[in-house]
Structure 1
């Protein structure tokens, strides 16, 4: 459950925008310990309106390439998590922070989707796991390795293109991203 309701956030944001109180006084009035939280709410509200303050009900799955693009953009431009989230039309900057931490620990493989939930409690669980690992043929292992190398190669090419001409790369990336977002919105 969310700590603050959508109505509460909206009330605080509107009170700030009316100009009666500043961030610190609002935080004190409503018992919010982090002044930065109110700043984030106001910024998200200005960018996305009331929908930016809503908690997402369904978990959105992002492709690995988008995660890499977001992290690369943030690294190259020095943008904060909040700025990057707004540019990529996301209302959860902590998600980007999690991607960054995972990428630093585990690399590209860490950004790939993982199975969720608890494993089954069968007695033969360890034996099944060993069998599954052995069942990967040499060809399948090579295909997996090729896919990982393709992803790494793609990332390195984009990084090189960005380093050579950051403005052109960002424009191209922005245009491509806008065309993808229009396709999603047209459904």
Structure 2
């Protein structure tokens, strides 16, 4: 009976986590928000490696010094998230700097390369994300889910059999 209660609790927790994650993903989609994993501590203490920043698009005219923005590289191969140190509106350039870096980034970015402004961040979620992106994670998650469902089914059948509800009950 105790095992059944523990497994039922685990099943409920797993279901709630799944429901919460689906809701969070839906919220991000509805608000047109995209998450980016932070790879370095260049923005510490604001956020560090392993965090995820959530970014919403922003119009160039709404950019201000001090905004934390995610910028795409000119060839589109990577993004980085830094604070705007200064803006040259005539040349349509933003000069960025990581809070933990001693100087501005070596190259300014064209305003058209600004993906968006950071809306919020969640520490350590990037680490979880990296684990979830591993090849074995979906298989492991599916196996755990199947084991929980199978265990619950078996315990329910055992409970019914003990109460005399099984087919072979005399």
TM over 0.5: no
User: How does the TM-score come out when normalised to structure 2?
Assistant: 0.22
Q: Which has the higher contact order (CA 8 A, sep 6+)?
A: 2
Asked which structure has the greater CA Rg, the reply is: 2
Question: Which structure has greater strand proportion?
Answer: 2
